[in-house]
A and B are shown apart, each in its own frame.
Chain A
Amino acid sequence: MGALTRKAAIVGVGESDLGYTPDKTFLQLIAQATNRALDDAGLQKNDIDGLFSAGWLTMESIMIAEYLGIQPTYSDNTLSGGSAFEFHMEHAMAAISAGLCETALICYAETPLSDRKRGMARSFATGAPQEPEEQFEIPYGQWVPIPTYALAAQRHMYQYGTTSTQLAEIAVAARKWASLNPSATMRDPLTIDDVLASPMMSTPLRLRDCCLVSDGGGAVIVTTAERSKNLRKKPVWILGCGESHTHRSISGMPDLTVTPAKLSGERAFRMAGLAPSDIGLLELYDSFTITVLLQLEDLGFCPKGEGGRFVEGQRLAPGGQQPANTSGGGLSYLHTGMFGIFLLIEAARQLRGECGDRQVQPVKTALCNGIGGNLASSGTVILGVD
């Protein structure tokens, strides 16, 4: 077991207004989420001395600190895509353990739905002409992220016989969880046939294999083991973390069927002294159905190539053997562009027993896994309660 396990805990979580928020900027949403997370913890803004954030604007975390009126003594702007907040958890745990800060705020918001309606859509992978992808991929009509994930899905199908029906199982399970979550965007019933009949986006991925586009943000407060014991909610212990990235462009991915979750997961399990069989609840990044399937394999919940069979029979759904993505996930709850912070928020609430109709019982351990970029980065966080 690693020296950092149980040295820090999540003590507060909160989201901003979610869905479609055309009247609010991302800064307003971050402030809202932060206020709610502080209230959840019973802490004040001035208790925050560590700031961890990620966004697409230049020096965004500095901008956020100014807006919030925070002058941190520890600051981290790590931007690994959707996994950024799992990376931040590891960094916050390390900084808190080393005494470099005591109470960390991890926060983020984005408004891609409103931006799109205003004609301000932007792409995360491209822009600067000197980027290798601009030179060697974009001239061929590549765009991010649907075709790049489709390339991985196609390869997995070729190598392992994975089917579109198996991928659809993941979308259907997510919708069942969303139907139990009053905050979820898409709550109407969804069948495997519905998924298979939805418009083709980029073969083999169809519309319902793809996540939503939403506005929103979230905040997570992390503090020392000592301080966490006297706050409003019971501490959600950080048991283990791991992070890695293996490439940036999809052409550079060493093996299109293996994500860096293999590396980040191994490290997190080692730190926690746990194995996949010890995990009660999974919160996996579901930018696409294939993303979930690859993580299940890479994190060791089933052998490589068995993901398709593993998710059959609604194993991930309410009442299934392996509950996963209990908010409804990026596929049916919401997806703001970097979903990783919502994985942490949902896991913390599940571990505290606050999830109402969608509460998983009993659950003492949860694994969150964020994936960023073109299956490029992965951050694993294993959480637990006493």
Chain B
Amino acid sequence: MTADYKKPLPYIHSETKAYWEGAKAHELLIRKCRTCNRHHFYPRDLCPSCFSSDVEWIKASGRGHIYSFTVCHRPAPSFEKDVPYNIALVELEEGVRMMSTIVECSNDDLKIGMAVEVVYDDVTPEITLPKFRPVSPPARERS
């Protein structure tokens, strides 16, 4: 945790407050529709599949796999010192996809399909970013 964190932080509003409060408590909360039973991401007050307003927050398992990733050699503003850094689309076990960063893994070892689990990066006293790490060490380091 650092007080002088300079990277962009999410703007949190009522619709997404529970998600960010969950992250701060180290829980990954996502939305599930009670009408059609589908999950969705990012969180909305209505289900983008069936348009029902009967959507609940559920605690996701936090496990998933890398759907795609890229290693950025040119940075977003304020990420200059991190180059090269990765961003990934993680598909959660619940079927939804979210953007994140894979940590505790060399960029060279990233692979689509790699099993990952959520970890929580408390970047400021108020904001925690869910990130992911490989479930087991990458093959290269296993032997």
Contact = CB atoms under 8 A, between A and B. Distances in A.
Contact of B129 (A139, A205, A250): A139
24 contacts: A129-B11, A130-B11, A130-B13, A134-B11, A135-B10, A136-B41, A136-B99, A137-B99, A139-B8, A140-B100, A141-B79, A142-B99, A143-B77, A146-B74, A151-B68, A154-B69, A201-B73, A201-B74, A202-B70, A203-B70, A204-B70, A251-B97, A251-B98, A256-B67
A256 B101 CA distance: 18
Contact of A202 (B74, B101, B129): B74
A231 interface: no
B7 interface: yes
Chain B contact surface mostly? loop
Interface of A: 129-130, 132, 134-143, 146-147, 150-152, 154-155, 158, 199-205, 249-251, 256
A141 B75 contact: yes
Interface string B108-127: 00001100000000000000
B70 A147 contact: yes
Contacts of B16: 135
Given A199-B73, A251-B97, A138 B8 contact: yes
B41 A134 contact: no
A143 B8 contact: no
Contacts of A132: 42
A142 B100 CA distance: 9
Q: Chain B contact residues (Cβ within 8 angstroms of A): what range?
A: 20 to 34
Interface string B58-86: 00000000011111111111010010010
Given A201-B73, A249-B99, 16 more contacts: A130-B13, A135-B10, A135-B11, A135-B12, A136-B99, A139-B9, A139-B129, A141-B85, A141-B101, A151-B68, A151-B87, A151-B89, A154-B69, A155-B67, A202-B74, A256-B89
A129 B41 CA distance: 18
Nearest to B7: A139
Contacts, number: 95
Given A136-B42, A142-B99, A155 B76 contact: no
A206 to B, nearest CB: 9
Contact of B76 (A136, A138, A151, A203): A138
B101 A140 contact: yes
In the complex, the 7 A-B pairs of residues with the closest C-beta atoms, listed nearest first: A129-B11, A143-B76, A150-B70, A155-B68, A135-B10, A158-B112, A141-B79
Nearest to A126: B8
B72 A140 contact: no
Contacts of B10: 134-136, 139
A141 B73 contact: no
B76 A142 contact: yes
Contacts of A130: 11, 13
A205 B13 CA distance: 35
Contacts of A134: 8, 10-11
B77 to A, nearest CB: 8
A178 to B, nearest CB: 24
Contacts of B68: 151-152, 154-155, 158, 256
A137 B75 CA distance: 14
A356 to B, nearest CB: 37
Instruction: Choose among B7, B9, B77, B89 the residue with the greatest number of A CB atoms under 10 Å from its CB.
Output: B89
A199 B8 CA distance: 27
Contacts of A249: 99
A151 B11 contact: no
Instruction: Choose among B42, B79, B101 the residue with the greatest number of A CB atoms under 10 Å from its CB.
Output: B42
Interface string B84-108: 0101010000000111110000000
Contacts of B113: 158
B73 A251 contact: no
A246 B7 CA distance: 30
A202 B42 contact: no
Contacts of B89: 151, 250-251, 256
Contact of A151 (B42, B70, B73, B85): B70
Contacts of B77: 143
Nearest to A121: B77
Contacts of A137: 87, 99
A140 B42 contact: no
Nearest to A136: B42
B5 to A, nearest CB: 10
Nearest to B78: A141
